[in-house]
Amino acid sequence: MYAIVSDLHSNLEAMTAVLEDIESRGIEEIVCLGDMIGYGPDPRAVLDIAKSKFRFCLLGNHEHAILFTAVGFNVKAMAAVEWTREQLNSKDYTRDENHQVWNFLGSIQSSRTEGDILYVHASPMEPITQYILPVDIHSKDLMTDLFAKVPRIGFGGHTHIPGVFTSGGKFISPRECDGVFTLGAERVFCNVGSTGQPRDGDNRACYATFDGARIEWHRVRYDFLRTQKKIFKTKRLPEVLGHRLAVGR
């Protein structure tokens, strides 16, 4: 069994709480599906932990925006990108320390396939930027394209909304299956949810575990008030990025 996290978004408190929960379950292997940075107040700390704790990390749209070009970002997200970039170039660190951060980001791949499992940040068709939302289950063409790229199971994040899309035409949220989905004959694409900025109406940090046959989502309470205070203190990150942590939206 291993854990799958995504969309940590520079939220050190959520990341720490999730790592403690994973450790309490005796799970040693963790993979990350991207967006380690962006929105939150602790990009360097989150990246440092990611480098040491995760078996591999994928490139999310926020890492891509920092490295290359921000695609489809609104004003609030762009403000976070610019502030984050400054933190990763901070003069409070040596040039070598900053280079190590950028070298790590530059080494991250956009997708990964291991056996019959595909890992992406966003979608099998566009691994970095394409949103696959629950309502998309009604688009037969989109689902056909998606499952043409999924060997047996795919894992992603990006929307911050956990659940499973099945090749049979269903979207099943964790609430509908008591947080556990067992694989059958159908191929599936699983959204593991967001650790650092949930958007499904539940403000607890989210991650998933997988044992080869069963996906289980886990929700973990963390000190979001502490994260909020850090965001407000920056004076540069939009305050809404802190307020939304209280409501999971």
Residue-wise pLDDT tens digits, 162-215? 999 999 999 999 999 999 999 999 999 999 999 999 999 999 999 999 999 999
* For residue 70, pLDDT beyond 90: no
Summarize the confidence of residues 109-113 as an average pLDDT. 97
Q: DSSP of 165-208, one letter per residue? A: EETTS-EE-GGGGTTEEE--SS-EEEE---SSS--SS--SEEEE
Portion of the chain with pLDDT greater than 90, in percent? 98
Q: What is the mean pLDDT of residues 130-153?
A: 97
Region 141-157: mean pLDDT is 97
Q: Is 93 exposed, middle or buried (0-12, 13-18, 19+ CB in 10 A)?
A: middle
User: Residue 171's pLDDT is what?
Assistant: 98
Assigned CATH for 2-247: 3.60.21.10
Residue 80, pLDDT > 90, answer yes
pLDDT of 24-41, one tens digit each?
Answer: 999 999 999 999 999 999
- At residue 30, the pLDDT reads 98
* Mean pLDDT (the chain, rounded): 97
Beta-carbon count within 10 A of 34 CB: 29
Burial of residue 140 (number of CB atoms within 10 Å: 0-12, 13-18, 19+): exposed
Q: What percentage of the chain has pLDDT greater than the value 70?
A: 100
* This prediction's pTM: 0.96
**Residue 69: pLDDT over 90:** no
- 215/72: higher pLDDT: 215
What does the pLDDT read at residue 221? 98
**Residue ranges of domains in the chain:** 2-247
In angstroms and rounded to an integer, the radius of gyration of the C-alpha atoms of the chain is 17
* pLDDT confidence tier of residue 71, bands split at 50, 70 and 90: confident
Mean pLDDT of 52-59: 97
Residue range 90-119: average pLDDT? 96
